[in-house]
Amino acid sequence: MLTDIEIALGAELKNIKEVAAKVGVKEEELELYGNHMAKFTDSYIDSVSNNKDGKLILVTAINPTPAGEGKTTVTIGLGDALSRLGKKTMIALREPSLGPCFGVKGGAAGGGYSQVVPMEKLNLHFTGDFHAITSANNLLAACLDNHLLQGNALGIDPNRIVLKRCLDMNDRALRNIVIGMGKRMDGVVREDHFVITVATEVMAILCLSEDIFDLKKRLGRMIVAYTYANEPVTAEQLGCVGAMTALLKDAIRPNLIQTLEGNPAVVHGGPFANIAHGCNSVRATRLALKTADYVVTEAGFGADLGAEKFLDIKCRLAGLKPDMTVIVATVRALKYNGGVAKADLDAENIDALSKGIVNLGKHIENIKKFGLPVVVTLNRFVSDTDAEIEYVKKYCEDMGVKLTLSEVWAKGGEGGIPLAEEVLRILDSEESHYAPIYDTELPIKEKMATLAREIYGADGVVYSKEAENAIAKIEAMGYGNLPVCVAKTQYSLSDDPTLLGRPSGFKMNIREVYVSAGAGFVVMISGSIMTMPGLPKSPAAERIDIDDNGDITGLF
């Protein structure tokens, strides 16, 4: 059996100009990065701004497990299937982070015969967007520390600096560090911290900005520290926002690549859904909607994270109206939620399936609360038995949704035809009544309580003293009317990764709260989630190499 990268490297890629032409984009409307990657020009983005929007289809999933779900794979396969049915379709995805690529999760290009390519370039440096974001964030950090050394005219309290440096890599040793050691001109000695690039506010800002001018305004609003008088200090006050914007001038423009079947895929931005808002950029989604009749996009991890933030943050702030949602599940993942060990998932186990399927049920309920039509697709494995599939089908029917089978990993777009046909049927016959699940004018704690109760199924929320104080300060500064972005484990509806299925009788524990004033939301750090991940005992980096032909191996 071929690996993902072997399939990708063996594919015959079309020239990206030919891919763009499928949806009416001309060569002069692209900036080429070789023959197979491009960025859209600002003039093209402006030229389609008044076009009618296509249909927006969100792909989400149950809570992820070691058994795998294949959300991105299904997203790509559904796009290919719609194209096979003669529909003018574009896919809108996030860019992969290097951290998971060299860690345990792998890349984000799909899998099998449902991938976007060139997979190896996408998963590594791509067009340099993440490097630009890293540089912009760290330029701001450098200017801040230089300001401290050069007299600290703003009166910044070194113990109340909230901006963190970043690196697009899993490196736990950088979570808590001391900088400025050495001589006086080496800087002010203070504690500092690193986060992974995809967790930075700069990443969130780039993904939520309308254009380069909106980006610049949002960067200026970033709160980087507080003074001795407890007043916020913004990036604009440090005087480097223009330089940061210059670094991001190209990064804010969406990228175009292709699926294995030669269909267009817009790939741009990449915030994690467990520690950020987990959606590709507003510019990419809007561009796709103005260019194609059908846009298939994904949001990170389970529907309690990526989909909730897509619907409560991205769509609300950008004025987008999704038309329907696809929820991806696997029999194996549902059995894992029902208590079966990973090594035993191949064996038929209806009892475990019946216990674990409640996780799917909760996600179906949640999506319906946003007023969206829903279809469930089962990413099929060879070990799935007819009895198990029939059980899931009956469960979905009882919940008022249809189950389709997806075989896009093995068959590409052909394996997604049943799902595509059901998606088209729903779009023709059911209307979206999308609405966010809470009113932003509610106090911060009430918004968090709504998410805890309605989305996670919690009995309440417990705040640390530090979180309580932070909320009071945020509301006093006038940011109480922003949406809430919860950072929590992806493995459970709760903030405890060991509570699988559909847990109950628990409370959400909020240990830290801060405002991302530039991005436009309030972040709640729940449980033990880390904004700088670490590598596992045996990271994927140990298996990635270059062979004698100069090809990359081991990337997945």
**Which among 272, 301, 370, 521 is annotated as catalytic?**
301
**Which among 11, 108, 141, 273 is annotated as catalytic?**
273
- Considering only CA atoms, which of 385, 329, 380 is closest in space to residue 357? 329
pLDDT at 105 (0 to 100): 79
Q: How does residue 252 score in pLDDT terms, banded at 50, 70 and 90?
A: very high
Q: Which residue in the block uniquely carries the two structure tokens 């609405």?
A: 435
pLDDT at 444 (0 to 100): 98
**Which among 55, 71, 164, 309 is annotated as catalytic?**
71
For the entire predicted model, the pTM comes to 0.95
What is each CA distance from 546 to 37, 108, 535, 550, in whole angstroms? 22, 20, 21, 6
- How many CA atoms, within 13 angstroms, populate the side-chain half-sphere of residue 354? 5
Q: How does residue 257 score in pLDDT terms, banded at 50, 70 and 90?
A: very high
**Which among 84, 105, 393, 453 is annotated as catalytic?**
105
Does residue 219 carry a pLDDT above 90? yes
Confirm whether 381 is a catalytic residue: yes
What is each CA distance from 167 to 16, 114, 436, 489, in whole angstroms? 30, 30, 33, 21
- How many CA atoms, within 13 angstroms, populate the side-chain half-sphere of residue 369? 21
What is each CA distance from 268 to 28, 68, 128, 464, in whole angstroms? 20, 24, 11, 36
Does residue 1 carry a pLDDT above 90? no
Cβ-based neighbours of 76, under 8 Å, separated by 6 or more:
91, 93, 110, 114, 115, 116, 259, 265, 408
pLDDT at 441 (0 to 100): 97
Confirm whether 73 is a catalytic residue: yes
Does residue 320 carry a pLDDT above 80? yes
pLDDT at 424 (0 to 100): 98
pLDDT at 67 (0 to 100): 79
Nearest 10 degrees: Cα torsion 414, 419, 420, 424: 160
| Range of weakest confidence among 144-158, 246-260, 529-543 | 529-543
Separation CA 278–CA 122 (nearest Å):
18
Does residue 549 carry a pLDDT above 80? yes
DSSP state of 305: I
Taking only the tens place, the pLDDT of each residue in 502-530 is 999 999 999 999 999 999 999 999 999 99
Confirm whether 521 is a catalytic residue: no
- Considering only CA atoms, which of 319, 371, 316, 367 is closest in space to residue 482? 316
Separation CA 255–CA 32 (nearest Å):
10
pLDDT at 107 (0 to 100): 83
Separation CA 422–CA 428 (nearest Å):
10
Confirm whether 94 is a catalytic residue: yes
Section 373-395 average pLDDT: 96
pLDDT at 470 (0 to 100): 97
| Long-range CB contact pairs, 472-477, < 8 A, 24+ | 473/230, 474/444, 474/513, 474/514, 474/515, 474/522, 475/443, 475/444, 477/232, 477/515
Does residue 68 carry a pLDDT above 80? no
Confirm whether 301 is a catalytic residue: yes
pLDDT at 234 (0 to 100): 98
Percent of the chain with pLDDT over 70: 100
In contact, 455 and 304? CB cutoff 8 Å: yes
pLDDT at 272 (0 to 100): 87
Residue 257: beta bridge partners?
A: 265
Does residue 406 carry a pLDDT above 80? yes
Which tokens go with 414?
Answer: 């052909």
Which tokens go with 502?
Answer: 């559909």
**Which among 194, 409, 506, 521 is annotated as catalytic?**
409
Q: Which residue in the block uniquely carries the two structure tokens 């705040």?
A: 463
Separation CA 285–CA 293 (nearest Å):
12
Q: How does residue 446 score in pLDDT terms, banded at 50, 70 and 90?
A: very high
pLDDT at 556 (0 to 100): 85
**Which among 381, 420, 502, 506 is annotated as catalytic?**
381
Question: Can you list the positions of beta strands (E) in 330-444?
Answer: 374-379, 402-406
Q: How does residue 112 score in pLDDT terms, banded at 50, 70 and 90?
A: very high
According to DSSP, the β-strands at 110-111 and 324-329 are unpaired
Residue 232: beta bridge partners?
A: 226
Taking only the tens place, the pLDDT of each residue in 195-214 is 999 999 999 999 999 999 99
- Considering only CA atoms, which of 248, 274, 42, 273 is closest in space to residue 131? 248
Section 114-138 average pLDDT: 96
**Which among 60, 72, 73, 75 is annotated as catalytic?**
73
Query: How high is the mean pLDDT of the chain?
Result: 96
Confirm whether 216 is a catalytic residue: no
**Residue 128: count of CB within 10 angstroms of its CB:** 12
pLDDT at 264 (0 to 100): 98
Q: How does residue 69 score in pLDDT terms, banded at 50, 70 and 90?
A: confident
- Considering only CA atoms, which of 330, 334, 322, 408 is closest in space to residue 371? 322
Nearest 10 degrees: Cα torsion 14, 556, 492, 348: 100
> Between 8 and 266, whose confidence is greater?
266
Section 22-49 average pLDDT: 97
Q: Which phi-psi region, left, alpha or beta, contains residue 178 (left: φ > 0; alpha: ψ -120 to 50)? A: beta
**Which among 94, 283, 314, 445 is annotated as catalytic?**
94
